């Protein structure tokens, strides 16, 4: 090994396919580690909590249940409502928001638990199980290769020494002037080197056999990386499914909360906008979370929502009420379906107000000298 590092020894090279398998295995291991660590950060942003969980796992002890941030916020809000007055408008709202935050915290807890089992555990099992086996066999293959290269070097030296001894033994001594001692020694050395060559060849055959056997074992393990990719792909789908379910639950809880706050807001601030932000899209289904979470709320057309007398209403003739107008920030771009609607651009500020008998899912929006109906789900009402 040292001679190889200094370039003083020949190294047995592996075939290109084997080298590609090694490179793919190393890449799989490196990226699996990075994905695992970052997913742990996503599920638990607190580094101290992650260290604590790591220690519990190493000690083979159950990780204690931890209160989520949403649940802690819900507890604070509930305590504040109890102290400030649960019957006051502020206290009632605190109680409603606390209940929603508690539901969000419970959904987050379920998501963390599901993601840990279906995604993190398989990745961790690969790194702590399959990869350790592959690494062990690779180290053993490295040792077998070094043994093989050492046998090749020993055989090469033995053959060179044998050839030199043979050349010296072929010289006929002069018995008249010298004793035949050197000749006899040369012949004896040649015989010894012959034995050494035979022994080196035998050791080389054994080393080659062991190297080939270990290379085949390592190759089979490396080719198993393809199965690992398939397994990780399945786990990735499970992770996306659990994450989609989590966000769909959060979306549903917040819609319910916004609906409750909207109804209570009308009682507290008469004359201002009172409505529901519940979209007209199909209700979320737990059996198909991907479709539910990925679908943007579909705003019904004005013609289908407007009352019969309102459909023929001329917006230019409508004057804003003396009180009850509010500023609103646009959340998403919106393209007007007809001339009665107002096109919106994300993050712009407009003035909105409601008219008597108007559908609660719509408001009248004004921007400069332009006026038209705007969907409530695309707005964030400002104070």
Q: Domain boundary at 248, 264, 280, which?
A: 264
Q: Are residues 85 and 163 in the same domain?
A: yes
Q: pLDDT > 70: what percent of the chain? A: 73
Report the C-alpha gap between 170 and 152 in whole angstroms.
27
* Domains held by the chain: number: 2
Q: Are residues 205 and 111 in the same domain?
A: yes
pLDDT tier, 111 (very low <50, low <70, confident <90, very high otherwise): very high
pLDDT in tens, 329-369: 998 888 888 888 999 988 899 999 888 878 888 899 998 88
Q: Domain boundary at 247, 264, 281, which?
A: 264
Q: Are residues 35 and 152 in the same domain?
A: yes
Contacts of residues 247-255 at CB distance under 8 Å and 24 or more positions apart, as own/partner, are 247/293, 248/284, 248/286, 248/289, 248/292, 248/293, 249/103, 249/107, 250/104, 250/107, 251/284, 251/292, 251/293, 252/284, 253/100, 253/103, 253/104, 253/107, 254/100, 254/104, 255/279
pLDDT tier, 210 (very low <50, low <70, confident <90, very high otherwise): very high
Q: Are residues 92 and 205 in the same domain?
A: yes
Q: By C-alpha distance, which of 131, 114, 332, 336 is closest to 238?
A: 114
Instruction: Read off the pTM.
Output: 0.60
Q: Are residues 143 and 236 in the same domain?
A: yes
CATH number of the domain to which 369 belongs: 2.30.30.40
Mean pLDDT, rounded, for 289-317: 45
According to DSSP, residue 117 is labeled I
Cβ burial of 150 (10 Å; 0-12, 13-18, 19+) is: middle
Helices and strands (H, E) in the chain, number of each type: 12, 5
Given this model, what pLDDT does residue 167 score? Answer: 66
Q: Are residues 220 and 328 in the same domain?
A: no
Query: Is 376 a domain residue?
Result: yes
The residue range of the domain holding 102 is: 15-169+187-264
Which string of DSSP letters, residue by residue, matches 128-174? IIIHHHHHHHHHHHHHHHHHHHHHHHHHHHHHHHHHHHHHHHTSPP-
According to DSSP, residue 10 is labeled -
Q: Are residues 249 and 369 in the same domain?
A: no
Report the C-alpha gap between 255 and 235 in whole angstroms.
30
pLDDT in tens, 222-277: 999 999 999 999 999 999 999 999 999 999 999 999 888 876 555 555 544 444 44
Q: By C-alpha distance, which of 297, 315, 298 is closest to 306?
A: 315
Q: Domain boundary at 240, 264, 288, which?
A: 264
Q: Tell me how crowded residue 335 is: count the other CB atoms within 10 A of its CB.
A: 7
Q: Are 98 and 64 in contact (CB under 8 A)?
A: no
Q: Are residues 340 and 221 in the same domain?
A: no
Between residues 111 and 377, which one has the greater pLDDT? Answer: 111
Q: Which of 126-140, 288-302, 338-352, 367-381 has the lowest mean pLDDT?
A: 288-302
Task: Please enumerate in sequence order all residues whose Cβ is within 8 A of that of 17, keeping only pairs 6 or more positions apart, or say none.
Answer: none
Q: Are residues 349 and 249 in the same domain?
A: no
Between residues 271 and 200, which one has the greater pLDDT? Answer: 200
Quote the longest CA-to-CA distance of the chain. Answer: 141
Task: Please enumerate in sequence order all residues whose Cβ is within 8 A of that of 1, keeping only pairs 6 or more positions apart, or say none.
Answer: 146
Q: What are phi and psi of 283, to 5 degrees?
A: -65, 150
Side by side, the strands of the sheet bearing 326-330 are 370-375, 362-367, 349-353, 326-330, 379-381
Q: Are residues 89 and 158 in the same domain?
A: yes
Q: Tell me the residue length of the chain.
A: 383
Given this model, what pLDDT does residue 28 score? Answer: 96
CA atoms within 13 A of residue 3's CA, in its CB half-sphere = 8
Task: Please enumerate in sequence order all residues whose Cβ is within 8 A of that of 3, keeping only pairs 6 or more positions apart, or say none.
Answer: 9
Query: Is 305 a domain residue?
Result: no
Report the C-alpha gap between 148 and 144 in whole angstroms.
6
CATH number of the domain to which 90 belongs: 1.20.1270.60
Given this model, what pLDDT does residue 264 score? Answer: 59
Q: Are residues 330 and 238 in the same domain?
A: no
């Amino acid at each position: 090994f040292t001679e190889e590092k200094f370039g003083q020894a020949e190294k047995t090279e592996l075939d290109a396919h084997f080298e590609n398998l090694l490179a793919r295995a190393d890449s799989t291991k490196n990226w699996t580690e990075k994905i695992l660590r970052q997913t742990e950060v996503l599920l638990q942003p607190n580094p101290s909590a992650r260290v604590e969980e790591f220690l519990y796992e190493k000690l083979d002890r159950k990780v204690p249940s931890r209160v989520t941030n949403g649940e802690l916020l819900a507890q604070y809000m509930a305590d504040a409502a109890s102290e400030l007055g649960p019957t006051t408008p502020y206290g009632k709202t605190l109680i409603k928001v606390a209940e929603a935050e508690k539901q969000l915290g419970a959904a987050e807890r379920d998501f963390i638990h599901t993601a840990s089992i279906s995604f993190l555990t398989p990745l961790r099992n690969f790194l702590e199980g399959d990869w350790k086996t592959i690494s062990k066999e690779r180290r053993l293959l490295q040792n077998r290769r070094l043994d093989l290269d050492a046998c090749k070097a020993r055989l090469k030296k033995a053959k060179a020494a044998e050839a030199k001894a043979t050349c010296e033994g072929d010289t006929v001594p002069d018995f008249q002037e010298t004793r035949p001692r050197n000749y006899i020694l040369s012949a004896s050395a040649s015989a010894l080197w012959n034995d050494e060559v035979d022994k080196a060849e035998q050791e080389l055959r054994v080393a080659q056999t062991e190297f080939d056997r270990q290379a085949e074992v390592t190759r089979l393990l490396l080719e198993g990386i393809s199965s690992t990719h398939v397994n990780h792909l399945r786990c990735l789908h499970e992770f996306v499914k659990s994450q989609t379910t989590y966000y769909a639950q959060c979306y549903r809880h917040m819609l319910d909360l916004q609906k409750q706050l909207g109804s209570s807001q009308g009682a507290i601030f008469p004359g201002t906008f009172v409505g529901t932000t519940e979209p007209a899209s199909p209700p979320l289904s737990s059996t198909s979370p991907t479709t539910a979470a990925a679908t943007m709320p579909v705003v019904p057309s004005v013609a289908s929502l407007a009352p019969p007398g309102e459909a023929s209403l001329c917006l230019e003739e409508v004057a804003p009420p003396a009180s009850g107008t509010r500023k609103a920030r646009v959340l998403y771009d919106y393209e007007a379906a007809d001339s009665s609607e107002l096109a919106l651009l994300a993050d712009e500020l407009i003035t909105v107000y409601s008219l008597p008998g108007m559908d609660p899912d719509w408001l009248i929006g004004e921007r400069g000298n332009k006026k038209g109906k705007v969907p409530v789900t695309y707005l964030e009402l400002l104070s």
